[in-house]
Every structure is written in structure tokens, then in C-alpha cells.
């Protein structure tokens, strides 16, 4: 599937092995789409950080996540929509880690939410089935708001050899 290309790609030699090469954005997109667990970082109204694990789907050049409207992450987003999503491997010498920075934008279009609900179920199984009503997912746990994060900046950290690639989007 075609995807939006970054405006610039940069290998940071300070954090990269001399033999490292810039990582391809298409490979990063595949990793983002396949990753099962992400960590979402938000900022509380008083400035303290908040981090929580969650599930995402990749669609139309954005990561989507859902949350109950009274959960800490949603309360934080009411004050500051800037977020960081991270995923990767908890190993030192193999795998890749990815960091996506951007704005969490509410998705409320029911047709689009039905598309996303189908992606959730395809990726995570029928236990993650959602109906859609009034601009939100509806499941066993009640309604959940959905947010999309289109990368503004993303980082890829390869571990063999070590490298740091930055992708910048406009």
C-alpha cells in the first residue's frame, strides 16, 4: 500500500555505528502496522508526564488508538494533544524501536470509525470487536473515543548495527 513519504530522512551519526545506513520509511511503516503494543506518552494539565500501554492500528498514514472518555490519557488530551507513541523490542542487540511524535486528533466520523473497527478486529481478534455509535467505538467496556496520530517526526532505532534514523514530515 502506498504511504506518505517523509520530507526529510536523516541518519544521526552520533548514535549510529559507522556501517549503519539510513532506515527506509516503508520498513518502519510495516513495523508500525505489525506492532501489537505501543506506549502512549501524554502530559497532565500540571505538566507531569503520563505513560500507558495501548493497542493501535495503522491506517492512512496514521496510528489510531482508543480510550474511555474519563481515562487519564483523554483528560490529558483535553489540555494538550501533543503525544509520543513508542513501540519496539525489549532487547539490547536485536530488533528495532520506533518513536512517533504528533498530535492526537479525535476521529468521530462513523463511516471511518467502522473501517477502523474492522482493522482492530482483524489485527487483534474478535475479543476486540467494536460497534460504532455517535462518533465512538462501543464495546464490552462501554464507549471509547478514537484518536489518530499522523507522524510529524518519527525515529527509528536499529540495534544491529546500532543506528538512529529521523524522518521529518511537513
Q: By residue range, what is the domain housing residue 53?
A: 8-168
Task: Please give the helix or strand (H or E) that residue 87 lies within, else none.
Answer: strand 82-87
- Judge whether 113 lies within some domain: yes
Considering only CA atoms, which of 106, 110, 128 is closest in space to residue 119? 128
> What percent of the chain has pLDDT above 90?
94
Q: Is the preceding omega at residue 26 within 30 degrees of 0, hence cis?
A: no
The confidence score (pLDDT) of residue 3 equals 77
- Judge whether 109 lies within some domain: yes
Confidence of residue 2 (pLDDT cuts 50, 70, 90): low
- Judge whether 128 lies within some domain: yes
- Judge whether 69 lies within some domain: yes
Total domain count, the chain? 1
Outline where the chain has alpha helix (H). Answer: 25-34, 72-77, 110-124
Q: What is the DSSP string of 122-159?
A: HHH-GGG--EEETTEEEETTEEEEEEEE--SEEEEEEE
3-state DSSP assignment of residue 40: strand
78-115 pLDDT, tens per residue? 999 999 999 999 999 999 999 999 999 999 999 999 99
Q: What is the CATH number of the domain that holds 142?
A: 2.30.110.10
- Judge whether 117 lies within some domain: yes
Cα–Cα distance for residue pair 31/135, rounded to 1 Å: 28
Question: Is the separation of the CB atoms in 163 and 21 below 8 Å?
Answer: yes
Q: Kindly report the number of other CB atoms within 10 A of residue 29's CB atom.
A: 19
Q: Kindly report the number of other CB atoms within 10 A of residue 91's CB atom.
A: 10
- Judge whether 2 lies within some domain: no
Average predicted confidence (pLDDT) for the chain: 96
- Judge whether 46 lies within some domain: yes
The DSSP output letter for 28 is: H
> What percent of the chain has pLDDT above 70?
99
The confidence score (pLDDT) of residue 170 equals 84
- Judge whether 3 lies within some domain: no
Considering only CA atoms, which of 103, 113, 159 is closest in space to residue 137? 113
Q: Kindly report the number of other CB atoms within 10 A of residue 164's CB atom.
A: 20
Amino acid at each position: 500500500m502506498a504511504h506518505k513519504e517523509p520530507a526529510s530522512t536523516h541518519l544521526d551519526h552520533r548514535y549510529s555505528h559507522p556501517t549503519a545506513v539510513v532506515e527506509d520509511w516503508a520498513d518502519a511503516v510495516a513495523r508500525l502496522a505489525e506492532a501489537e503494543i505501543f506506549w502512549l506518552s501524554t502530559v497532565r494539565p500540571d505538566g507531569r508526564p503520563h505513560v500507558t500501554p495501548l493497542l493501535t492500528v495503522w491506517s492512512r498514514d496514521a496510528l489510531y488508538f482508543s480510550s474511555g472518555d474519563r481515562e487519564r490519557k483523554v483528560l490529558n488530551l483535553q489540555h494538550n494533544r501533543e503525544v509520543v507513541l513508542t513501540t519496539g523490542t525489549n532487547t539490547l542487540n536485536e530488533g528495532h524501536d520506533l518513536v512517533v511524535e504528533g498530535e492526537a486528533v479525535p476521529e468521530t466520523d462513523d463511516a471511518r470509525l467502522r473501517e477502523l473497527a474492522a482493522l482492530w478486529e482483524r489485527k487483534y481478534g474478535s475479543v476486540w470487536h467494536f460497534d460504532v455509535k455517535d462518533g465512538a467505538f462501543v464495546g464490552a467496556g462501554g464507549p471509547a473515543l478514537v484518536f489518530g496520530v499522523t507522524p510529524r517526526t518519527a525515529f527509528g532505532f536499529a540495534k544491529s548495527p546500532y543506528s538512529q534514523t529521523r524522518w521529518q514530515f511537513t
